[in-house]
Amino acid sequence: MEGENAIRLRPPRHAVDTRAVGWWRTQCLVTTAVPAAVLAVLGVLIDPARGWLLASAAAVTAAGLAWTAFFPSWWYRVHRWEVTDEAVYVRTGALWQESRIAPMSRIQTVDTARGPLEQLFGLATVTVTTASSKGALRVEGLDHERAAELAERLTELTGAAPGDAT
């Protein structure tokens, strides 16, 4: 493709829903709480190793709280998505950022998913499976109604796109 209609790498225009920050923070806290709790319980139960187990629990808790305080806000600033008539654009990551483009002609399936925490926050994830060895594109942290509309729009666009998604 040439000219105005060329598909090229560029920053996507849309941010994820602001509720995604709370969803990511909750995921970080749960991920931190489980190992910290296991270490703390073992520290209480195992007398000879009490000191280093409780210190390990404190270190895991401190690192997890720092992670929780910083990264969800950063992810919100980085994660972007956009759908045009020609392609799906996604940018994700924190320290290592990844930008991907899926031309409509390469899209094979479009799925939405809502895990328990996503449901609690009213969010959903749209997964766009392509004919690529790199794997699917995921747009996380969308309002669940917007995700359903996006999946419907992508289905219409891919159905109208020339090509066989191979």
Q: In the chain, what's the furthest Cα-to-Cα distance?
A: 71
> How many structural domains is the chain composed of?
2
Range of 39's domain? 21-75
Looking at the structure, do residues 118 and 70 belong to the same domain, yes or no? no
The mean pLDDT of 135-140, rounded to a whole number, is 92
Same domain, 155 and 107: yes
Does 69 lie in the same domain as 126?
no
Between 8 and 26, the more confident residue is: 26
- What is this structure's pTM? 0.84
Q: What is the pLDDT at residue 6?
A: 62
Same domain for 61 and 94? no
Taking 50 as the threshold, does the pLDDT of residue 80 lie above it? yes
Res 157 pLDDT > 80: yes
The verdict on residue 33 lying in a domain is yes
Q: Mind listing the pLDDT tens digit for each residue in 20-76?
A: 999 999 999 999 999 999 999 999 999 899 999 999 999 999 999 999 999 999 999
* Residues 63, 60: Cα–Cα separation, whole Å: 5
Q: Of 75, 98, 115, at which residue does a domain stop?
A: 75
Residue where a domain terminates, one of 45, 75, 105: 75
DSSP assigned state of 102: E
What's the mean pLDDT in 143-161? 91
Strand stretches in the chain, DSSP E: 14-15, 80-83, 87-93, 97-103, 107-113, 123-130, 137-143
Which residue is associated with the tokens 């509720």?
19
- Which of 75, 98, 113 terminates a domain? The answer is 75
Q: Per the structure block, which two tokens stand in for 36?
A: 């910290």
Phi and psi torsions of 6, nearest 5°: -65, 140
Q: 90 or 131, which is more confident?
A: 90
Residue 155's CATH number = 2.30.29.210
More confident residue, 163 or 98: 98
In tens, the pLDDT along 113-123 reads: 999 999 999 99
- Amino acid, res. 26: T
pLDDT of residue 137 exceeding 50? yes
Q: Is residue 65 part of a domain?
A: yes
Examine the domain organization and report whether 51 and 122 are in the same domain: no
Residue 2 in this model has a pLDDT that exceeds 70: no
Are both 123 and 95 inside the same structural domain?
Answer: yes
Q: Are residues 63 and 85 in the same domain?
A: no
Name the average pLDDT for the chain.
Answer: 90
Claim to verify: residue 32 and residue 70 sit in the same structural domain: yes
∠ CA 107-4-78, nearest 5°, is 60
- Do 87 and 59 lie in one domain? The reply is no
Whether residues 65 and 88 fall in one domain: no
Residues 91 and 47 in one domain: no
